[in-house]
Amino acid sequence: MATITAAMVKDLRESTGAGMMDCKAALTETAGDMQAAQDWLRKKGLSKAAKKAGRVAAEGLIGALTKDTKGVVVEVNSETDFVARNDQFQGLVKMIAQVALEVGADVEKIKAAKVGAVTVEAAINDAIATIGENMTLRRAAALEVGKGVVSSYIHNAVTEGAGKMGVIVALESAGKADELAVLGRQLAMHVAAANPQAIDPAGLDPDLVRREKDVLADKYRQQGKPENVIEKIVESGLKTFYKEVCLLEQAFIHDSGKSVAQALKEAEGKIGGPVKVTGFVRYALGEGIEKQESDFAAEVAAASGKK
């Protein structure tokens, strides 16, 4: 039998909003499997949150840079938030974003690219030696369109073009570039706030959709609903799910009375032609990275030979 720790219960409670005892029961029933426990709570109707976006535990900066039809976003990590306020580190992030705009999003190619007489990797190592903290270029992404714009937005910016979250959005259109850029920034802000998983349902991971179907079906099956009714409920539930996770179907944050698709259609008049969202990337600092958390009191007790 898996050992269910207080930390596991705490993490599940934070990610679902369910009660402590319910979280403990869910983890016990699922042998400590966090994702299965989240699903168990949802099936019981006890979870207040469908999912957890990912614990933001690493420090550093997200950098975003665009130029006409191209745009990039990069994540450069450091050990402490203090370094993110360091001018040298901020300059390093901007330099890496500039290189990525030129050579593409392959991390190894970025590190091997030269800036003056040194490579990006050497520049990172120099910063490590000077600042005294470990740093790493974790990831990078790029978008490009044939005609149109790639727009960016930095949330919680600590300097121009770098902050705790970065978004780039690619819009394909032969319309007015200035009006398109305004729309692109609005959409980038929307992506930052609403965190869509795909542009439309066709772009969703099939496993994610299958999991959602299973959760919905099991939930109503436990309520004794007949299978033919469950099928209809699941289809209706999926439509609601798509409105939550698909960009074009989400309520537009700048006008919640419209979907993003409707807002795009209305904007086409000003822009002077059809507009198509061809891609977006949203980087939140440290998402998916678990930072080692220490229990200072326990460490002191251990050091003194006490438990």
CATH of the domain at 160: 3.30.479.20
Where residue 274 falls among pLDDT bands split at 50, 70, 90?
very high
CB contact set of 2 (below 8 Å; sequence gap of 6+)? 27, 31, 32
Q: Any idea how long the chain is?
A: 307
Residue 105 and residue 186 in one domain: yes
State residue 104's pLDDT score. Answer: 96
Q: Is the pTM of this model over 0.95?
A: no
- Residue 292 maps to a domain: no
Range in 59-73, 128-142, 290-304 the model is least confident about? 290-304
Which of residues 223 and 206 earns the better pLDDT score? 206
Inside any domain, residue 204: no
Place of tokens 């009714």: 229
How far is the CA of 165 from the CAs of 31, 44, 77, 281, in angstroms? 34, 34, 13, 11
- The residues pairing with 63 across neighbouring beta strands, listed in sequence order, are 74, 162
Q: How many domains does the chain have?
A: 2
pLDDT at 50 over 70: no
Q: Per-residue pLDDT averaged across 89-94, rounded?
A: 96
Name the band, by pLDDT with cuts 50, 70 and 90, for residue 64: very high
Chain centroid to CA 120:
25
Average pLDDT of the segment spanning 294-305 = 49
Residue 12 in domain: yes
Q: Using pLDDT thresholds of 50, 70 and 90, give the confidence band for residue 297.
A: low
Query: 41 and 85, same structural domain?
Result: no
- Per-residue pLDDT, 106: 97
Instruction: Show the tokens assigned to 183.
Output: 């729309």
pLDDT at 291: 58
* 102, 2: one domain: no
> Is residue 100 pLDDT above 90, yes or no?
yes
Are residues 124 and 144 located together in one domain of the fold?
A: yes
Q: In the predicted model, what is the mean pLDDT of residues 266-290?
A: 92
What are the φ/ψ torsions at residue 165 (nearest 5 degrees)? Answer: -150, 140
Q: How far is CA 116 from the centre of its chain?
A: 33
Query: Is the same domain home to 279 and 158?
Result: yes
Instruction: Judge whether 180 lies within some domain.
Output: yes
Q: Does the pLDDT of residue 206 top 90, yes or no? A: yes
Work out the mean pLDDT of the chain and round it to a whole number.
Answer: 87
Q: Does residue 63 sit in the same domain as residue 173? A: yes
Q: What percent of the chain has pLDDT over 90?
A: 60
What local confidence, expressed as pLDDT, does residue 245 receive?
95
Examine the domain organization and report whether 142 and 280 are in the same domain.
Answer: yes
Please spell the DSSP secondary structure of 143-210, one letter per residue.
Answer: EE-SSEEEEEEEEEEEETTEEEEEEEEEEE-SS-HHHHHHHHHHHHHHHHHH--SBSSGGGS-HHHHH
Estimate to the nearest angstrom the gap between the alpha carbon of 115 and the chain centroid: 30
Tell me, what CATH number does 12's domain have? 1.10.8.10
Among the residue ranges 178-182, 233-237, 270-274, 279-283, the one predicted with the least confidence is 233-237
Domain presence at residue 100:
yes
User: What local confidence, expressed as pLDDT, does residue 290 receive?
Assistant: 60
Q: What would the mean pLDDT of 292-304 be, rounded to a whole number?
A: 49
Higher pLDDT, 130 or 204: 204
User: Domain for residue 295, yes or no?
Assistant: no
pLDDT of residue 301: 53
Res 1: pLDDT = 62
Are 199 and 242 within 8 A, CB to CB?
A: no
pLDDT, tens only, 164-205: 999 999 999 999 999 999 999 999 999 999 999 999 999 999
> How large a percentage of the chain has pLDDT more than 70?
89
Above 50 in pLDDT, residue 131?
yes
Domain that holds residue 24: 1-47
Instruction: Count H helices and E strands in the chain, helices first.
Output: 12, 10
